[in-house]
Structures are given as C-alpha cells and as structure tokens.
Chains A and B, each alone.
Chain A
Amino acid sequence: MNELLSQPALQSSLIPFCVALAAIVLLLAGARRWAGLAVLVGFYAAAYLIAGFEFVPLTSTRKILLLGLAAIPVALVLDALRKRARVGSGVLFLLAGAALLWVVWPVVQREELRAALALGGMGAIYAVLVTSFASELAAKPRHAGVALLTMSLGTGGAALMGASALIGQLGLALGAATGAWLLLAMWKPTLGAGNTLTLPVGFLNALLGYSAFVYARLPWFTLLPLGLIPLLARFVAPDTKVASWRQTLWLVLSTSPLAALAVLLSWWVEGAPPL
C-alpha cells in the first residue's frame, strides 16, 4: 500500500481524483453549497503525499500550501455574503498579489531594485489577474470547472517540463481533483461552483505557475496562455440546448489549446523532464 501511495503518477492523478470525488459525495449530502471545497480536500490529500505537511523551514512550496489553506475561510465568507462590495474585491485581489510577493520574496530581495520591482510586480499582477478571472466564474459552475481543470493541468504539465516535478505534481493533482468536481457538475448541472471552488483553486494556480517560473525553469511566456484560460472561458458560450456533457466538451475544446500551448512552449524551451 505504501508503495502505491508513493507512486508520483498516482499521487497526482487517481488519489486526488478519488478523494475529491468521495468528498463531493459527502458535501452534497450535508453542505451542498460548499461542494467546491471537495477539490481542495483532494488536492491537500495529494499534497500531503507529495510534499508532506512539514512547514519548517518555510520554503516557497510550503508557503503556497499554507496560502491555499488561508484562502478557504476567505472564500467561505465571500460565499456567505450575498453581495460583494467592489472595494472588498479590490482589497482581496491586492492581498493575492501581496501573498505572491511573499512566496517569491527570497528571490526578489536579492535582486537589484529595477529587477526586483519587475519580478515582484509581474508576479503580483499575475496573481491578481488569475485570481480575479477565476473568481468571476463563480456563478458559472461548468465554465469554472473546465477553466480550472485545464489551467491546473496546463500549469502542472508546463512546470513538469520546467524542471520542477514537485510543482508539476501539485498542479496536476489540482487538475485531477477539479476533474472529479467537473464530472459531478456534468451529472448534476445544478451544482454551484461558488467562491469556495474558484477563489482558492484560481489563487493556487497563480502561485504554482509563477513559482515554477521563479524557482524552476518555466519560461515566463508560458504564463500568458495559462493566465488567459479563465478569461477565455468567461466568453465561451456553449449551446445551452444540447446535453450537459456536450456543453462541457465544447468548453474543454475551447480552453485546452491554451493549456496545451503552455506545455508545448515549456517543452520547446526546456525539453522533456529528466526521468
């Protein structure tokens, strides 16, 4: 059993998928509006196996895991509020930028002022944009599920090519867990996404993607297609008269080329991962 649990391929695919699926079933029975949390349950089960839950010394990956957890109560509060004030949203997204700055601070502080501003500023903007684009999909569960699925798989795949199996595995695990949620969202079209799904998962994607650029060798330009995925998903309008699975398929076909482009660009620059 231990041997199975230590298989990287299982850690970032079947395990988060199955754990997320089981969590959704449980949440549907008791707390339907928080079903999006199941994705995080699946992700953190995988993260426990991949990276462990030790937080000393506090490395960038451990900061990401902590920040993902910190985003959960924020998302719960947002879902509890009926109307989100514009000022509140602004503060929230600025916090996302500040959080990313904290993750990359060990590198930023060693750079010259201009390079530090560019590195930190770009990262903060990336975190703000990706988190806000993802958050805008809270009211569109199918769009949210597909966007977060393809963005997570794209981030994981690109990071894997960019010489960080750890970030790659975490990204793929996030994708697998989101896949479980999407599967149920297809089957139960009334399942709501809410901020509990879009905010932490979008935020984690931003942190993982930018960290792979700063701490591994992910080319910076691969972040462009990845960041555009949730924005594109917002404007894709599948025919609502067709079956749910066909609408989902249309969304996947529309957004996955951007994820594939990110992986291909990373592979083109960095080559295949060393196995």
Chain B
Amino acid sequence: MRHAFAALALATLSASAFAADSYTIDPAHTYPHFTISHLGFSTMHGRFNSTSGTVVVDRKGTGSSVDVKIATASVDTGFQKRDDHLRSGDFLNAVEFPVITYKSTKIVFSGESAATVDGNLTMSGVTKPVTLKVGHIKCAVNPQSKKDVCGFDATAKIKRSDFGIKFALPNIGDDMDLTFEVEAVKG
C-alpha cells in the first residue's frame, strides 16, 4: 500500500514537471509599449526595443511564472532628442537604473486564453506591485520556425509618480497605460 502511494505521488510530480513548460522570450517579437498624456494635448506612444526573460506555463499547477527584463536605454518614441531626455535622470535614469524588471508572484488562468498576473515591477530603483491583465494567450507550434511558441498580449496601468518619476507633473501625465506583446520560444 505504501509503495502504491509513493508511485502515485511520483506520477503526480512527474506530470506536474512535464506540464510546466519553460519558454525563452523572443526579443524580436516582444515589446513593452506605453502611452502617456503630453500636456493634455495628445497621447504619446512609446516602446522599449530590447526585452529578455523567461515564461513558464503550467496550466494545471501553480508553477507558471513571468520574468521579464527590459533595457531602460532602449526606450523609443520615434524622436531622438525626446528619447535622450526620457533616458536622463528627469525620467527613467537609464544610466543608474539600466534594467526595468517584472517578476510575477501569482498567475491565475481564466479559461484557455486569459489570465491575471500579479507581480512586482521595478523601475528607477523602486519596486511596486503591478497586475497584468492577459487577454490573449496562444501556445502552439510556429508554422514557420516549427518551434513551440507561446505568445500573449497583456495590459496594465501604473502611475509614474509611484516609481519616483515626478518630473513635469502634472503637465506631463502621471497615468501610464502599458501594453505588452510577448512571444517566447520553448527551451
């Protein structure tokens, strides 16, 4: 009887281990985007061009995780002078804080293609909890590369002042909408 329990426990563990698939973020298809109000006149869009990290998908267990690293200096709004300003100590302070990180603490799936990700965003040396709403998930074989790929789109809202980025408040907006397009390759 004791052996039967041990075998069952081992089988459960093995299934859980196999169910958790680890993926490496594909930087060519992963971009964190942001929007922010410019003096109330318009909504400015920007993105970060260099992202790395890992995604673990474990739909049956609790082993899912997201660990993303964003190169702060890769900020791109399509205008060099403004990007230089965004990299300076007025905003992102890219020299002193070269990496923005997001580490999940809890992921709850709602059906096949949606999830809520709780985690910590660290930007400009300040860490705050941020919840990502994932509205689309697809894990399948990429028909072109023939590799196992998992992709998702996620959104979040933050206040830049929460991260100590207070330059030109309130003229330049405090609220930032974040959108992540993420693709990760298995292995």
* Interface residues, chain B, with chain A CB atoms under 8 Å away: 79, 81-82, 84-85, 87-90, 93, 95-96, 124-126, 164, 166-171
B88 touching A215 by the CB < 8 A rule? yes
Interface membership of chain A positions 42-66, coded 1 if the CB is closer than 8 angstroms to chain B and 0 otherwise: 0000000000101001011100000
Known: A6-B170, A52-B166. A59 touches B88 (CB 8 A): no
Contacting residue for A54 out of B82, B90, B164, CB 8 A:
B164
- Within 8 Å of chain B (Cβ to Cβ): is A8? yes
Interface pair B124/A166, CB less than 8 Å apart: no
Name the distance in Å between B156's Cβ and chain A's nearest Cβ.
22
Residues of chain B within 8 A (CB-CB) of A59 are: 89, 93, 96, 124-125
CA distance in complex: A166, B92 (Å): 12
Q: Which 9 A-B pairs have the closest CB atoms?
A: A57-B125, A163-B84, A164-B88, A274-B82, A216-B88, A166-B90, A274-B81, A163-B85, A106-B96
Q: Which B residues are CB-close (under 8 A) to A57?
A: 124-126, 164
Alpha-carbon distance A61/B82, docked complex (angstroms): 20
Kindly supply a per-residue 1/0 record for chain A positions 252-274, scoring 1 wherever the CB is within 8 Å of any chain B CB and 0 otherwise.
Answer: 00000000000000000011011
Task: Choose from A8, A216, A271, A273 the contact partner of B89 (Cβ within 8 Å).
Answer: A216
Extra contacts besides A59-B93, A107-B96 (4): CB < 8 Å: A57-B164, A59-B125, A166-B89, A216-B84
Binding site for B on A (CB under 8 A): 6, 8, 52, 54, 57, 59-61, 106-107, 163-167, 214-217, 270-271, 273-274
Residues of B within 8 A of A61 (CB): 89
Q: Check A8 against B124 for contact (C-beta < 8 Å).
A: no
Q: B167 — which chain A residues lie within 8 A by C-beta?
A: 165-166
Chain A residues whose C-beta falls within 8 Å of the C-beta of B82 in the assembled complex? 274
Complex Cα distance, B89 from A216, in Å, reads 7
> Which of B84, B125, B126 gathers the greatest number of chain A CB atoms within 10 Å?
B84
State A27–B187 Cα separation when bound (angstroms). Answer: 70
Instruction: Determine if B89 and A164 form an interchain contact, defined as CB atoms under 8 angstroms apart.
Output: yes
Question: Does A163 contact B95, Cβ atoms closer than 8 Å?
Answer: no
A and B contact pairs by CB, cutoff 8 A, 5 listed:
A57-B164, A164-B88, A166-B167, A216-B89, A270-B84
What is the bound-complex CA distance between A273 and B82, given in angstroms?
8
Q: Do the beta carbons of A166 and B126 come within 8 Å of each other? A: no
What residues of A have a CB within 8 angstroms of the CB of B96 in the complex?
A: 59-60, 106-107, 215
Contact B166 A215 (CB under 8 A): no
Bound CA–CA A217/B95 (angstroms): 11
B93–A165 CB distance below 8 A: no
In the bound complex, CA of A270 to CA of B80 (Å): 11
Q: Which of B85, B87, B166, B168 contacts A8 (CB 8 A)?
A: B168
Task: Determine the distance from Cα of A28 to Cα of B104 in the docked complex, in whole angstroms.
Answer: 59
Q: Chain A's nearest CB lies how many Å from the CB of B138?
A: 38
Which one of A52, A106, A165 contacts B85 once the chains associate, using CB atoms below 8 Å? A165
Alpha-carbon separation in the docked complex, A106 to B124 (Å): 13
The reply to whether A217 and B170 form a contact with Cβ atoms under 8 Å apart is no
**B-chain residues with CB within 8 Å of residue A165 when the two chains form the complex:** 85, 88, 90, 167-168
Looking at B79, B85, B87, which has the most chain A CB atoms within 10 Å of its CB? Answer: B85
Bound-complex Cα distance A52 to B90 (A): 12
Q: Are B169 and A6 in contact (CB under 8 A)?
A: yes
Minimal Cβ-Cβ distance residue in B for A105: B96
Q: Are B90 and A217 in contact (CB under 8 A)?
A: no
Which residues of chain B are within 8 angstroms of A166 by Cβ–Cβ distance?
88-90, 167
